[in-house]
Amino acid sequence: MSWKPQDQSVGAVDVTDRYTTGEVTVADGRARVRFRVIDAESKDRTSSSIKVFGEDSQLHFEGTSKDERFDGNDHIESQLEIGKPFVVIAERDGGVTASTFVVEKDEQLISIEMAALSSKAASAEAVRSLGEYLSVCRFGDSIQQTPFARTPLTRDDADAAASQIWQAHANEIVKERAEEMEKQVLTIGELEMPFWFEAIGTPAATGRSLWISLHGGGGAPPEVNDQQWENQKRLYRPEEGVYLAPRAPTNTWNLWHQRHIDQFFDRLIENLIVFHQVDPNRIYVMGYSAGGDGVYQIGPRMADRWAAVAMMAGHPNDARPESLRNTPFTLHMGGQDEPYNRNGQAVIWQKKLADLASADPGGYPHWVEIYADKGHWMDREDAAAIPWMAGHTRNLRPKKIVWQQDDVTHDRFYWLQVTEAKPRSRVVVEMNGQKVNILEAEGVTKLTMRFDDSMLNLDESVWIEKDGRPIYECIVERNISTIARTMRERGDPIGMFSAEVSVEFPQKKDSE
């Protein structure tokens, strides 16, 4: 057959240049990998969005596959490293699928078959794609870039996705943090926090409890605080659990309530959950003297971390108890502990807690014990706090939340999240069935509420109210994106939520 350029009696596309152009330069150690997406029913090529991720979790290539309008040998391609595994994710008309491959040779062709799926089948395919992704990639923020992360999930598939994500997270923690756990020193920036711990007794079926015990001292030479740390190691002994005494990163008067303390404790808890099978719902914090100062502060501002809190012989400074609505709090003070008016402040807090509990039935469980004849040292009578604390477990999904921000702020509290955390802002929210009523939102421009199926029925509409007036109604979809993000935020397997909805509040003008 002869080719006649001047003959136009037969329609055709001249693709000669595609095969006669100069050779493409391929970088050393790399190969050209070509991608096509096939419709499962028609077997035709389709135009679909393509994303390729590597084992570093980075996006290595993205583009759009070519359909039957293009020559059969015309495919999108990328140069990828030979011998390395990748996961390719294809998206078309709301459907998503993923598959893994290893680069073996130049001009390797990867075919991805996609079928039209029901919503239930699409949910299952999203979870399968998650497994493909995690078999190659590290668990990290890049999962938010994947199309399957946005696919609506069924309840069962949300549980299956959460299980995969937790295991992937735990594997990463083991890889990244084994050395710091072996050395028993955490490092954040230029600060270090050594810690000592002992595992006591037989763990429950849900895992071990964790008791974080804060030493006294404060603005003193390092050797003084070192000795206080040694004392704290022997001061209390629960019947069961990991008893852990950290050494404060600094030697300042406020050594246990500076901003970095929250970060250290978040990391410490995240590690202990993985390395020592700590039950996230049975984590307790206590402190004596300067350690008690810290407990007054981090007790409320990290209240959603604690199963119960014990303050011994400390001073509250500017701390406030409102955020303790769902966190049992016990306070022990010597009646003769007069320096800095510690005993007087204990009485003030006793009344504050009693008033809060009276005004909010079911909230603010507390026990205050003032030992009339004791000074700063209570002769270990304060150890009575340990069995009282052990009788409580954390509820991370309470029906009502009071969130009073400190000057050290957090962007998440129980099942609430804010984009801009402002000092002294305040949120009060209450859930009743399928309704969430925002009772207060002071200093907050946007509030996100996280849910899962243990809290309400996510297959039915959720109503959001502000001051009793409906402002939003919708079906809140479960998805991998929310599950992964809430896992990354805290490293708490119980702290994963599968759905979320946000509401914004108009800000008053200065003249109003």
Q: Tens-digit pLDDT profile for the chain (512 aa)? A: 445 556 555 555 555 555 555 577 999 999 999 999 999 999 999 999 999 999 999 999 999 999 999 998 999 999 999 999 999 999 998 899 999 999 999 999 999 999 999 999 999 999 999 999 999 999 988 899 999 999 999 999 999 999 999 999 999 999 999 999 999 999 999 999 999 999 999 999 999 999 999 999 999 999 999 999 999 999 999 999 999 999 999 999 999 999 999 999 999 999 999 999 999 999 999 999 999 999 999 999 999 999 999 999 999 999 999 999 999 999 999 999 999 999 999 999 999 999 999 999 999 999 999 999 999 999 999 999 999 999 999 999 999 999 999 999 999 999 999 999 999 999 999 999 999 999 999 999 999 999 999 999 999 999 999 988 999 899 999 999 999 999 999 999 999 999 999 999 876 655 44
Question: Do 76 and 110 fall into the same domain?
Answer: yes
**CATH number of the CATH domain containing 307:** 3.40.50.1820
Q: DSSP string of 88-135? A: EEEEETTEEEEEEEE--STTEEEEEEE----HHHHHHHHHHHHHHHHH
* Opening angle at CA 246, ends 241 and 249, nearest 5: 160
Report the pLDDT value the prediction gives residue 210, as an integer from 0 to 100.
99
Question: Do 492 and 471 fall into the same domain?
Answer: yes
**153 within a domain of the structure (yes/no):** no
pTM summary value: 0.92
Half-sphere exposure of 291 (CA within 13 A, CB side): 26
**135 within a domain of the structure (yes/no):** no
User: Position of tokens 């019947």?
Assistant: 239
Question: Do 231 and 85 fall into the same domain?
Answer: no
Question: Do 245 and 330 fall into the same domain?
Answer: yes
Question: Do 40 and 103 fall into the same domain?
Answer: yes
Report the pLDDT value the prediction gives residue 468, as an integer from 0 to 100.
83
Report the pLDDT value the prediction gives residue 141, as an integer from 0 to 100.
86
Question: Do 201 and 328 fall into the same domain?
Answer: yes
Report the pLDDT value the prediction gives residue 205, as an integer from 0 to 100.
96
Distance set, CA 16 to CA 21, 66, 69, 293 (Å)? 9, 19, 17, 80
Domains in the chain, number: 3
Could you give the CA distance from residue 375 to residue 395 in angstroms, rounded to a whole number? 35
Closest of 213, 228, 256 to residue 382, by C-alpha? 213
Closest of 49, 33, 28, 46 to residue 101, by C-alpha? 33
Question: Do 432 and 364 fall into the same domain?
Answer: no
Could you give the CA distance from residue 482 to residue 153 in angstroms, rounded to a whole number? 11
**146 within a domain of the structure (yes/no):** no
Report the pLDDT value the prediction gives residue 220, as an integer from 0 to 100.
94
User: Which DSSP category does 467 fall into?
Assistant: T
Report the pLDDT value the prediction gives residue 94, as an integer from 0 to 100.
85
Among 80, 114, 148, where does a domain finish? Answer: 114
Report the pLDDT value the prediction gives residue 467, as an integer from 0 to 100.
86
**149 within a domain of the structure (yes/no):** no
Domain that holds residue 455: 400-504
Question: Do 423 and 375 fall into the same domain?
Answer: no
Question: Do 426 and 474 fall into the same domain?
Answer: yes
Beta strands in 289-373 (DSSP E): 308-312, 329-334, 366-371
Report the pLDDT value the prediction gives residue 498, as an integer from 0 to 100.
99
Among 359, 390, 421, where does a domain finish? Answer: 390
Among 114, 134, 163, where does a domain finish? Answer: 114
Query: Exposed/middle/buried for 45, CB within 10 Å: 0-12, 13-18, 19+?
Result: buried
**CATH number of the CATH domain containing 96:** 2.60.40.10
Could you give the CA distance from residue 419 to residue 296 in angstroms, rounded to a whole number? 26
Dihedral of alpha carbons 75, 76, 79, 82, sign: negative
Question: Do 85 and 228 fall into the same domain?
Answer: no
User: Which DSSP category does 81 fall into?
Assistant: E
Report the pLDDT value the prediction gives residue 1, as an integer from 0 to 100.
44
Show the tokens assigned to 224: 């003084």
Could you give the CA distance from residue 42 to residue 382 in angstroms, rounded to a whole number? 75
